[in-house]
């Protein structure tokens, strides 16, 4: 049975129609949440895992909406190879899908400078907060991610502190905007990038993945 780990509720809603029988755990975009999520999937009987959702771009030529099914995940300084058969089910070989490496981070990577530095050090295409935890579980696993914020974008403060339980807290968002109203244009730009990422992923799920799992 396939278990799926995502960061946010919106990502769970996106993948659910395509994997109706798979348990899904939401990390809430925290390291502890990811660890607990994998534990819940294992307890539910998962025999293979998928890390699904958004990622931050590290490679300078990637733009929001770029789809990545990595061949390996860099976690704890080691490369964990993804499962070839499971990756094929989720679209390896489809036109436009990128391969290579994906970096795991326990912390949110928020600035363009951090992304540039991480790309130079690791060569990875993108970074997320769930894939390394999935890799550590020791089961066959695959990763399907879409770039949301690219390597040139700094995340506005609100994007870093408004999440609660895997979703956006309206109260935290309002408080952040009151403290720093100048971040509104950057937040709107990030929203456009997120919409482009979601559109690209939805189109890919509709046409690019195998239903045979």
DSSP string across 62-127: --TT-EE--SEEEETTEEEEPPHHHHHHTTTTSTT-B-SEEEE-SS----HHHHHHHHHHH--SEE
- The yes-or-no verdict on residue 116 having pLDDT over 90 is yes
**Partners of 22 in the beta sheet?**
none
The confidence band for 208, taking pLDDT boundaries of 50, 70 and 90, is low
- The yes-or-no verdict on residue 171 having pLDDT over 80 is no
Contact predicate 136/59, CB 8 Å: no
- Give the Cα separation of 193 and 96 in Å (integer): 18
Tell me the domain boundaries of the chain.
2-208
Residue 209 tokens read as 């993945």
Percent over 90 (pLDDT), the chain: 71
pLDDT at 213: 47
Residue 43 tokens read as 């307890």
- The yes-or-no verdict on residue 162 having pLDDT over 60 is no
Pick among 3.40.50.1580, 3.40.50.10140, 1.10.1200.10, 3.30.479.30: CATH of 2-208: 3.40.50.1580
Residue 210 tokens read as 């195998």
Residue reference for tokens 């990502």: 11
Of 188 and 209, the one with more pLDDT: 188
Whole-prediction pTM value?
0.90
The single-letter DSSP state of residue 152 is T
């Amino acid at each position: 049975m396939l278990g799926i780990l995502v960061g946010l509720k919106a990502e769970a809603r996106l993948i659910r129609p395509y994997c109706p029988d798979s348990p899904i755990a939401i990390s809430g975009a925290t390291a502890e949440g990811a660890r607990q999520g994998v534990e819940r999937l294992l307890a539910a009987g998962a025999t293979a895992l998928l890390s699904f959702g958004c990622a931050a771009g590290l490679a300078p030529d990637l733009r929001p909406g770029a789809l990545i099914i990595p061949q390996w995940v860099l976690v704890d300084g080691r490369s964990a190879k993804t499962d070839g058969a499971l990756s094929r089910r989720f679209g390896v070989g489809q036109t436009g899908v990128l391969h290579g490496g994906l970096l795991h981070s326990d912390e949110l990577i928020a600035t363009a400078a951090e992304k540039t530095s991480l790309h130079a050090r690791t060569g990875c295409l993108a970074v997320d907060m769930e894939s390394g935890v999935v890799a550590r579980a020791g089961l066959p696993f695959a990763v399907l991610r879409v770039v949301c914020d690219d390597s040139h974008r700094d995340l506005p403060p609100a994007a870093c502190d408004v999440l609660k339980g895997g979703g956006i807290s309206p109260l935290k968002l309002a408080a952040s905007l009151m403290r720093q109203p100048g971040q509104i244009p950057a937040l709107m730009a990030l929203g456009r990038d997120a919409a482009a990422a979601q559109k690209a992923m939805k189109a890919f799920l509709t046409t690019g993945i195998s239903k045979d799992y």
